[in-house]
Structure 1
Amino acid sequence: MPDRLPQLDEASFQPIDHAKLLQPARSSHPPRILLLYGSLRQRSFSRLLTEEAARILTRLGAEARTFNPRGLPLVDDAEPDHPKVRELMDVVTWCEGMVWCSPERHGAMTGVMKTQIDWIPLSIGAVRPTQGKTLAVMQVSGGSQSFNAVNQLRVLGRWMRLITIPNQSSVPKAFAEFDDSDRMKPSPYYDRAVDVMEELVKFTLLTRDRADYLVDRYSERKESAEELSKRVNQRAL
């Protein structure tokens, strides 16, 4: 087996820095978690599940903020400086992890949920507001248990380069899982929600100080080096 791989750009190809991966976490502030829900109904069960998740996160020592999607325009129907778009981008930039919770409607996530995700860009100049952050996905259903919405949310999470945790929550017949005070009743579905939030906090603590290193890619280093070389050559001319 050859020692060298001639198709690689050796200047951009680097060994894995094991010591950097294993270094202790440095941040001491609570994990910052943003929660998004996908319904504007007055009694929205995705909102109620999100509020329950925020309570759990707070008990686990995280700082949780929930974005209210009411008033958020459709993508391309407003400018990025729209107040609700700016509000969403501010909390996306602030957070270190996210929870996405959507109702299942017609076998898919809702348009409200998709609109929020569509407003989040992969990059803002040199800033990548989602890359390397953690994500937990949840859904509520009016009927029997389904996983269509969480499966779609996972696809979007990977596309947004989020670290989507393995566990997830799907609550069927959500109207029967909340009491008159809009609190989730004790049940295996509540226990699963606790499991998911616990796992999200753990993954966030493990990765937030290593996010830049974890998403550092050979292909992007190579591209950056090539762009720098072009600029140097153009100046030399």
Structure 2
Amino acid sequence: MNIMILAGSNRKNATSTRLGEYAVEVISGQGHEASLFDLYQRPLPFYAPDEKQNDDQNLADLNTRMLAADAIILSTPEYHGSISGVLKNALDHLSQAHFSGKPVLSISSAGGAVGVSSLLQLQAIIRNLHGINAQEWISIGGAQRRRFEATFDGYEEFEGSQDIEDRIKRVLGSFLHLSETLTSVRKPSGS
């Protein structure tokens, strides 16, 4: 399977982006193709429905990769109880053609305890794009974010780090199972 992860932060070394990178590692370790599109490194023009924006290389690449994906992960920081503006802008550039019938996992990183408001909003957007929301989501917040900060060197011990990784791997495993099931229905054997 081809899993596309859209990292929706406009911040260098964002914990939500690093969480997406971790998902790439876990999914690749399961034998699937996973790639990350980082909106910080590859910014998109502001969505303007009256303007042709076909000549933007980042937008063209995002369109191609999202259409080719069997499943999608959307990763966002939670800002003021909502998804990031750059992620919303990217989603405005996309359509039902990119999401229809595809499983989508929502993940967030929040400065507070958890980023549930942004996840609820993502799920509403996914429904409107005819995607299939995964039955679980991933939200890290507060001290849990330490594992995904740029200064984390892997040798530090902090309370709950293994629990966070175990939870993320469990949710990703559930998402992959859903994705495999739906992909086999959409693409029968031999096609």
TM-score range, shorter chain: 0.7 to 0.9
Report the secondary structure of 2:108's partner residue.
strand
CA distances 1:137-165 after superposition (whole Å, capped 9, x unpaired): 11001122230111111111111111111
Q: Which runs of 5+ in 1 are unaligned?
A: 1-30, 123-127, 214-237
Retained in 1: the 8 A contact 2:15–2:109? yes
- Counterparts of residues 56-205 of structure 1 (less than 5 Å): 56-69=26-39, 70-76=42-48, 79-122=53-96, 128-173=97-142, 175-178=145-148, 180-181=151-152, 186-205=161-180
Retained in 1: the 8 A contact 2:72–2:103? yes
Retained in 1: the 8 A contact 2:99–2:126? no
More strand by share: 2
How many aligned positions are there? 178
Normalising by structure 2, report the TM-score: 0.85
* CA distance in 1 between partners of 2:166 and 2:16 (Å): 17
| 198-207 or 99-108, larger mean C-alpha shift | 198-207
Deviation at 1:108, TM superposition (A): 0.5
- After superposing on structure 2, the runs of 4+ consecutive aligned residues of structure 1 that deviate more than 6 Å are none
Retained in 2: the 8 A contact 1:136–1:196? no
Residue 32 (str. 1) matches residue 32 (str. 2): no
2:25 aligns with: 55
Q: Which runs of 5+ in 2 are unaligned?
A: none
* CA distance in 2 between partners of 1:146 and 1:205 (Å): 27
* CA distance in 1 between partners of 2:152 and 2:115 (Å): 26
Deviation at 1:136, TM superposition (A): 0.5
Query: What amino acid maps onto 2:173 in structure 1?
Result: E
Percent identical: 22
Deviation at 1:169, TM superposition (A): 0.6
* CA distance in 2 between partners of 1:192 and 1:182 (Å): 20
Normalising by structure 1, report the TM-score: 0.69
Retained in 2: the 8 A contact 1:142–1:172? yes
* CA distance in 2 between partners of 1:33 and 1:74 (Å): 25
Retained in 2: the 8 A contact 1:133–1:211? no
**Residue 209 of structure 1 is aligned with which of 178, 184, 191?**
184
Query: What amino acid maps onto 1:60 in structure 2?
Result: Q
Aligned-residue RMSD, C-alpha:
2.1
* CA distance in 2 between partners of 1:67 and 1:160 (Å): 19
Query: What amino acid maps onto 1:39 in structure 2?
Result: S
Retained in 2: the 8 A contact 1:169–1:189? no
* CA distance in 2 between partners of 1:182 and 1:34 (Å): 26
Query: What amino acid maps onto 2:175 in structure 1?
Result: L
